[in-house]
Amino acid sequence: MNYLILVRHGQSKWNLEKRFTGWVDVDLTENGKLEAEKAGSLIKKKNISIDLYYSSLQLRANNTLKIIQKVLNDEKDFIKAWQINERHYGALTGLNKVEMSQKIGEDKVYQFRRSWEMKPDPLSKDSPYHPSKIETYKNVPKGKIPDSESLKDTYERVIKFYDEEIKTHLRNKNILISAHGNSIRALCKYLFKLDKDQISKLEIPTGNPLLMKFNDENKVLNSEYLDSERAKDLLV
């Protein structure tokens, strides 16, 4: 049996400001760093040796993972992959969620955030927030850089990467992935066989490791959030 641990990055600066972040490469807040440190401590208590680490290309996920590794005293190299980046929020990028709810209505904002196939208008390539303008993504193939994404779009790129890169390693390795609300939501939909309604309601808490135990056939035997006090209203 082997383990997969999914960790949504700690609170970011734009999480705190309630802004649509997506592919904008913002860092952790001080509270986010503390969340990452606590995540590391919770994982350490399980006494699980991690063989492979993955992160998105994004700073908030990278730094969450580095803090976790420091707590685990295991600072081996980790694999960075754009395929597990956060969902791209298109023209909503950088806007305040509360202000947008007041402007266009809470229901419309919720649709943009959680409907399966709806995606916001594309972000202008002239915007400083467009991934093509951000140094972090200079090596991502131009044809793969999105202007906007739905949850379905995010799911398809995340699961393709999981099937091709991660799944095989789970047969004999313990893996930790530091990623984002929507990329982890995609993995949960796939691994727990959730339908579209369930996935739209699934909340992914920041800095709370989700530990899954797999059998030899890559099936999830059981799962738990390691910070049980922050695991209310979660499907797993």
Could you list the active site residues?
Answer: 9, 86
- The partner residues of 176 in beta bridges, in order of sequence, read 5, 53
CB neighbour burial string for 41-58, b if at least 16 within 10 angstroms, e if fewer? ebbeeeebebebbbbbbb
Using the structure block, give the residue that is written with the tokens 């990623």. Answer: 179
Q: How far apart are CA 94 and CA 53, in angstroms?
A: 29
Q: How far apart are CA 182 and CA 61, in angstroms?
A: 13
Strand pairing of 52-55 and 175-179? parallel
Strand pairing of 220-225 and 52-55? unpaired
The one-letter amino acid code at 149 reads E
- Nearest Cα to Cα of residue 35 among 235, 214, 230: 230
Within 8 A by CB and 6+ apart from 99, the residues are none
Burial status of residue 229 (CB atoms within 10 A of its CB: 0-12, 13-18, 19 or more): exposed
Q: How far apart are CA 186 and CA 158, in angstroms?
A: 7
